[in-house]
């Protein structure tokens, strides 16, 4: 029966077509498309030609996706399947793309409960879904950023704490620095007093600027205006001409990093106005930067004119005294030698012993005078060398007969016997005798004394080794100075402190070096070097 309130099929389809919700009706297990509205055709990206086709034929891209099977189940089991945000790959405008849908496949049944069709509705939620995804990603990102911020915050708090601690430490340092500054000021004042009391001049040279300055005393000695800061050449001009080159090269030496930066020399300055000469001892030290370049050389000057004068008087006296002593001693020696030869024939029996004692004393006196004489020769710069080539080992073997004769010590030779040196044999003999005599004198308990020769570069090195008491390290630097003597545990030995001084001067005059390795309780090794023959020519 036809009733005007019932819609025809085409009217129903028209209604379906007009809805915005994508809608389609399928029948059968193949989900054959009975009808599909415009919205659904848009979703599929297809046109009316799909009507009447099975779902698989109409949308072949659905193969391999779950939807075709879902339709079959809905048809077979009369159920409803729905989903939200479900991805489906559809070919739209010739391009396979993924869209997201909220969909429902609903089995529509007749009175008998049989499925007559499947109502398929779908809403494309791709836009919302992707926005949601982006929002979720953003939230995750934000959470991460938040975490990072949190961590950074914690770090900052820790750094802040550290800062606070460092600040406190710094404040502590500042206080200490202040105290040190006060101390420094105090020390500076004391230093100033000390410099004044010691009547020292102070000086400061900047190699970079080439400028030279000093305290008022220095300016007074050099005849400079009190305000003046002068170039080094101007200062050098005030040094007496023969000393200038020597001072310039000592400054150059001190400014070389490899030299250790020490500067310790004596020279004469002449006041430019009064022309009064003054002998000064200059002591200083160079400072170097990280690349070992000199940044300053500074130090003190001491007026040693009077001291030098006193030394000169003493030297003059020694020179005269030794000259005067030499002649009578020589004749006394000759007489004693004669007496010695005759001693067996003289009575009473004590006479020979007296003569022997006198001879011994005479020998000592003669050695002392010999030292005095040699020292005055060295001081006056009159040490002349008479050089020849000779085997140093032979000299060592032949010298020191007196030690062998006394029989208290054994001289043991070791080392290279072939070394030929070019030197003044008599003077070198003198050095060896002196070193051996010292070993005998200062190491009386050392039965063995070793005499060792070895090659050291272009030189022969001669060492005299004893097992005696050794020498304290603070005394070693002074041993080769004139008149230096040190007693050992209160024991006094005869001598005048010239032997090592003369030996050192002889060795230096040969271009060699002299030194000692010694430790208390471990004996002493006195050594010196002299050039080998080839080097000397």
- Pairing mode, if any, of strands 410-415 and 448-456? parallel
Taking CB under 6 A as the criterion, which residues in 459-488 touch ligand ADP? Answer: 466, 468, 471, 479, 484-486
Task: Give the nearer residue to ligand ADP in terms of CB position, either 294 or 499.
Answer: 499
Task: Give the nearer residue to ligand ADP in terms of CB position, either 114 or 487.
Answer: 487
At its nearest, how many Å lie between ligand ADP and the CB of residue 433? 11
End-to-end CA distance of the chain: 149
Q: Write the CB contacts of 310 (distance below 8 Å, at least 6 apart in sequence).
A: none
Taking CB under 6 A as the criterion, which residues in 325-344 touch ligand ADP? Answer: none
CA distance 58 to 94: 14
Task: Give the nearer residue to ligand ADP in terms of CB position, either 214 or 499.
Answer: 499
In 164-247 the beta strands, taken as DSSP E runs, fall at: 200-206, 211-214, 230-231
At its nearest, how many Å lie between ligand ADP and the CB of residue 272? 41
Task: Give the nearer residue to ligand ADP in terms of CB position, either 497 or 511.
Answer: 497
At its nearest, how many Å lie between ligand ADP and the CB of residue 362? 18
- Pairing mode, if any, of strands 262-270 and 294-303? unpaired
Q: Which residue is nearest to ligand ADP (CB)?
A: 495
Report helix angle 499-509 to 425-442, nearest 10. 150
Q: Burial level of 308, CB count in 10 A (0-12/13-18/19+)?
A: middle
Q: Burial level of 492, CB count in 10 A (0-12/13-18/19+)?
A: exposed
**Residue among 51, 351, 496, 536 that touches ligand ADP (CB under 6 A):** 496
499 binds ligand ADP per the rule CB under 6 A: yes
Print burial letters for 309-335: b (CB count within 10 Å at least 16), e (below 16): eeeeeebeebbeebeebeeebeeeeee
In 172-249 the beta strands, taken as DSSP E runs, fall at: 200-206, 211-214, 230-231
Q: Burial level of 462, CB count in 10 A (0-12/13-18/19+)?
A: buried
**Residue among 37, 524, 530, 531 that touches ligand ADP (CB under 6 A):** 524
Task: Give the nearer residue to ligand ADP in terms of CB position, either 28 or 495.
Answer: 495
Task: Give the nearer residue to ligand ADP in terms of CB position, either 39 or 443.
Answer: 443
Closest CA to 250 of 280, 216, 215, 292: 280
Please give the DSSP secondary-structure letter assigned to residue 298: E
Please count the other Cβ atoms lying within 10 Å of the Cβ belonging to residue 500: 23
Taking CB under 6 A as the criterion, which residues in 252-291 touch ligand ADP? Answer: none
In which element (H, E) is residue 122 found?
strand 115-124
**Residue among 31, 50, 122, 500 that touches ligand ADP (CB under 6 A):** 500
At its nearest, how many Å lie between ligand ADP and the CB of residue 383? 16
At its nearest, how many Å lie between ligand ADP and the CB of residue 464? 8
Quote helix, strand, coil % in the chain, to nearest 5.
Answer: 50, 25, 25
CA distance 513 to 527: 8
Task: Give the nearer residue to ligand ADP in terms of CB position, either 459 or 502.
Answer: 502
At its nearest, how many Å lie between ligand ADP and the CB of residue 416? 23
In which element (H, E) is residue 327 found?
helix 305-342
In which element (H, E) is residue 91 found?
strand 80-92
Judged by CB under 6 A, the stretch of 231-239, 250-258, 320-328, 494-502 that binds ligand ADP is: 494-502
Q: How many residues bind ligand ADP (CB under 6 A)?
A: 19
Judged by CB under 6 A, the stretch of 11-19, 208-216, 397-405, 495-503 that binds ligand ADP is: 495-503
At its nearest, how many Å lie between ligand ADP and the CB of residue 369? 13
438 binds ligand ADP per the rule CB under 6 A: yes
At its nearest, how many Å lie between ligand ADP and the CB of residue 513? 17
Task: Give the nearer residue to ligand ADP in terms of CB position, either 39 or 471.
Answer: 471
527 binds ligand ADP per the rule CB under 6 A: no
Print burial letters for 34-57: b (CB count within 10 Å at least 16), e (below 16): bbbbbbbbebbbbeeebbeebbbe
SS3 state of residue 77: helix
Judged by CB under 6 A, the stretch of 151-159, 278-286, 395-403, 490-498 that binds ligand ADP is: 490-498
At its nearest, how many Å lie between ligand ADP and the CB of residue 481? 8
504 binds ligand ADP per the rule CB under 6 A: no
Judged by CB under 6 A, the stretch of 191-199, 225-233, 455-463, 496-504 that binds ligand ADP is: 496-504
Taking CB under 6 A as the criterion, which residues in 443-462 touch ligand ADP? Answer: 443
495 binds ligand ADP per the rule CB under 6 A: yes
Task: Give the nearer residue to ligand ADP in terms of CB position, either 243 or 371.
Answer: 371
294 binds ligand ADP per the rule CB under 6 A: no
Task: Give the nearer residue to ligand ADP in terms of CB position, either 281 or 485.
Answer: 485
Task: Give the nearer residue to ligand ADP in terms of CB position, either 288 or 484.
Answer: 484
At its nearest, how many Å lie between ligand ADP and the CB of residue 428? 16
- Asked if 352 and 346 touch (Cβ cutoff 8 Å), the reply is yes
For residue 475, is it left (φ>0), alpha (ψ between -120 and 50) or beta?
alpha
**Residue among 101, 267, 442, 527 that touches ligand ADP (CB under 6 A):** 442
Print burial letters for 405-426: b (CB count within 10 Å at least 16), e (below 16): eeeebebeeebeeebebbbbbe
At its nearest, how many Å lie between ligand ADP and the CB of residue 382? 20
Site residues for ligand ADP per CB under 6 A: 438-439, 442-443, 466, 468, 471, 479, 484-486, 495-501, 524
């Amino acid at each position: 029966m036809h009733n005007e309130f019932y819609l025809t099929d085409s009217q129903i389809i028209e209604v379906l077509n007009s809805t915005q919700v994508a809608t389609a009706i399928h029948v059968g297990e193949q989900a054959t498309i009975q009808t599909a509205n415009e919205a659904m055709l848009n979703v599929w990206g297809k046109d009316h030609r799909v009507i009447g086709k099975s779902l698989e034929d109409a949308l072949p891209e659905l193969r391999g996706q779950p939807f075709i099977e879902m339709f079959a189940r809905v048809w077979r089991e009369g159920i409803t399947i729905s989903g939200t945000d479900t991805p489906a790959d559809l070919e739209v405008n010739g391009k396979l793309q993924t869209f997201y849908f909220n969909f429902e496949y609903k089995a529509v049944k007749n009175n008998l409960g049989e499925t007559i069709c499947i109502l398929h509705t779908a809403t494309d939620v791709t836009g919302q879904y992707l926005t949601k995804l982006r929002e979720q990603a953003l939230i995750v990102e934000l959470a991460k950023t938040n975490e990072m911020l949190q961590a950074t915050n914690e770090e900052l708090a820790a750094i802040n704490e550290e800062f606070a601690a460092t600040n406190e430490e710094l404040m502590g340092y500042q206080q200490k620095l202040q105290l040190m500054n006060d101390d420094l000021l105090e020390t500076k004042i004391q230093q100033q007093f000390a410099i004044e009391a010691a009547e020292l001049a102070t000086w400061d040279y900047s190699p970079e600027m080439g400028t030279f300055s000093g305290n008022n005393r220095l300016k007074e000695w050099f005849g400079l205006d009190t305000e003046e800061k002068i170039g080094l050449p101007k200062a050098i001009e005030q040094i007496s001409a023969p000393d200038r080159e020597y001072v310039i090269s000592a400054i150059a030496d001190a400014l070389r990093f490899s030299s250790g930066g020490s500067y310790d020399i004596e020279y004469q300055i002449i006041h430019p106005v009064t022309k009064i000469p003054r002998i000064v001892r200059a002591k200083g030290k160079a400072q170097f930067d990280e690349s070992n370049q000199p940044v300053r050389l500074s130090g003190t000057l001491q007026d040693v004119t009077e001291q030098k004068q006193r030394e000169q008087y003493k030297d003059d006296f020694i020179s005269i005294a030794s000259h005067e002593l030499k002649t009578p001693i020589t004749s006394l020696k000759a007489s004693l030698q004669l007496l010695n030869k005759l001693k067996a024939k003289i009575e009473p029996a004590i006479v020979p012993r007296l003569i022997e004692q006198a001879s011994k004393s005479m020998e000592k006196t003669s050695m002392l005078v010999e030292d005095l004489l040699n020292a005055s020769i060295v001081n006056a710069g009159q040490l002349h060398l008479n050089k020849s080539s000779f085997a140093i080992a032979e000299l060592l073997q032949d010298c020191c007969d007196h030690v062998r004769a006394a029989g208290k010590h054994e001289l043991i030779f070791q080392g290279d016997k072939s070394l030929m040196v070019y030197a003044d044999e008599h003077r070198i003999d003198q050095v060896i005798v002196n070193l051996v005599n010292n070993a005998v004198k200062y190491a009386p308990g050392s039965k063995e004394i070793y005499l060792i020769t070895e090659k050291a570069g272009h030189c022969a090195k001669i060492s005299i080794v004893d097992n005696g008491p050794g020498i304290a390290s603070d005394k070693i630097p002074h041993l080769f100075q004139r008149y230096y003597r040190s007693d050992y545990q209160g024991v006094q030995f005869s001598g005048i402190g010239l032997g090592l001084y003369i030996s050192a001067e002889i060795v230096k005059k040969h271009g060699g070096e002299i030194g000692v390795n010694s430790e208390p309780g471990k004996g002493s090794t006195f050594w010196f070097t002299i050039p080998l023959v080839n080097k000397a020519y």
